[in-house]
Structure 1
């Protein structure tokens, strides 16, 4: 456990790689890509954004992944009031095609087609599940790992595609998720065999998005650095294990492991009633 705590602490900070930033628009898709400064056959991940939250609110998260040697790209699509989770899922798949099919940076960066992952926050986390279901068995672009960070309820729901997945998954939730009408993290993890669920202590499910300093004055959820710090560490460790095979990070993919800054759900807690969820929503 002491070794895992040390690794976790390191993963909350920037990694050893210098980072470059690029634009997915060169390949015809609005979005942003962060890469290590150099390296061939690198792991790569496509990252989906939350509802009404453009990619600029995840730049530090993308940069963090790149600093640990993972090419991280995020499409900046489906940003309207009524986005399509299925369209965003399609764009995540397209993003994987782009980063594997094009030599990145100054020609010294490439992504290996068998070291691919999908991840996302909120709406983007649910889109990552749909994208994984659509890409499973699709040859070179089939993901090796998928992460849904504080995923939100969508139409269609994620439960059915999640139940079909054989790819390893990471699901993050916050302690108040059982009272929430917005998230289905617990249901998603329950339907997804092979997924790892972590309840992030004192997390705010919308807090992963960055640069929302004055959001509270508009009645919108704000950023939360504690949530960002913990979620980045858990996500990075999970991806490093599954995409690179680095066994040092094995516990980050172990459903039985107790990781720092996370807590265990009480199996004897009574189920939350719909009335309690509505009251929590109105607080």
Structure 2
């Protein structure tokens, strides 16, 4: 029997079938984290960009979740200062993909298919993910959480991005409100695109744990926001990197607290709105 969107959300909110290994990107010269399934050849991989001044550890739950569903995730820990460079961090995301695709991970029993690479990020890291996607022809899918504009402009290069994208905005975001950031980015996207809004989310709702930057930025970690984000990103990357269609209903239908605001193009979701 076909799943409903609610059923798909429930399933993808829970950990997947794979045991997860945690590693250190620093062993190959790039500070950061890498999380993988315990084994698997020809796996998809995603480079994840942290938010402004955030450590990658604040997204460990999301990365572990993706890895439990069979997706390798690498998160550089560079450009974490207040004057961080979008351009350099975008290059680091591409370098993280180089590592995933070019190095046998774990004890050599894990490999990544260079044709199944994606990028994702939160806030600052989301803008950098767009820059990386525009420059790196290997990128097959892009997902952003509360995306913020970048320098150079993510909005300006979105018209060159023809891969599928999922942009998830925060409805109570006072740092990067959707009307000024996620929505224009989605409308400028050249490829299939979906924009959704987590209505009760704040800018930091996608993070976990405590950090001194909580005193400087808007919002706080939110369990419900993270639950929606990990289910949506898992469905999106399973579809566009792993070729799995069994959770497409979650990409094409509204779910409580996170409706579809805009969708356009094949494989983006439901009919254009």
Q: Give the corresponding residue for 2:189.
A: 192
- CA separation of 1:157 and 1:15: change in aligned 2, threshold 3 A: same
Q: Give the corresponding residue for 1:125.
A: 126
2:167 is the counterpart of 1:145 = no
Pick the structure with more helix per residue: 1
Q: Give the corresponding residue for 2:243.
A: 245
2:166 is the counterpart of 1:170 = yes
Q: Give the corresponding residue for 1:33.
A: 34
User: What is the TM-score when the length of structure 1 is the normalising length?
Assistant: 0.85
> Which residue of 241, 251, 258 maps to 2:254?
258
Deviation at 1:205, TM superposition (A): 2.4
User: What is the TM-score when the length of structure 2 is the normalising length?
Assistant: 0.88
Distance (Å, rounded) in 1 between the aligned partners of 2:97 and 2:235:
20
4+ residue segments displaced more than 6 Å: none
Cα displacement string for residues 94-151 of structure 1 (whole angstroms, at most 9, x for unaligned residues) = 0000011000001111111111110001111110100000012xxxxx1111111111
Distance (Å, rounded) in 2 between the aligned partners of 1:95 and 1:251:
31
- CA separation of 1:162 and 1:252: change in aligned 2, threshold 3 A: farther
Over aligned residues, Cα RMSD in angstroms? 2.0
Q: Extract unaligned runs of 5+ from structure 1.
A: 137-141, 267-283
Contact 1:11–1:233 (CA<8 Å) still a contact in 2?
Answer: yes
Deviation at 1:3, TM superposition (A): 2.5
Q: How many residues align?
A: 257
> Which residue of 194, 207, 210 maps to 2:208?
210
Contact 1:213–1:223 (CA<8 Å) still a contact in 2?
Answer: no
Contact 1:8–1:260 (CA<8 Å) still a contact in 2?
Answer: no
- CA separation of 1:264 and 1:72: change in aligned 2, threshold 3 A: closer
2:156 is the counterpart of 1:155 = no
Distance (Å, rounded) in 2 between the aligned partners of 1:213 and 1:157:
28
Contact 2:175–2:203 (CA<8 Å) still a contact in 1?
Answer: no
Deviation at 1:253, TM superposition (A): 4.1
* Higher gyration radius (CA): 1
Matches of residues 25-174 of structure 1 in structure 2 within 5 Å?
Answer: 25-136=26-137, 142-174=138-170
> Which residue of 204, 216, 231 maps to 1:233?
231
Contact 2:195–2:260 (CA<8 Å) still a contact in 1?
Answer: no
Contact 1:145–1:243 (CA<8 Å) still a contact in 2?
Answer: yes
Deviation at 1:260, TM superposition (A): 4.1
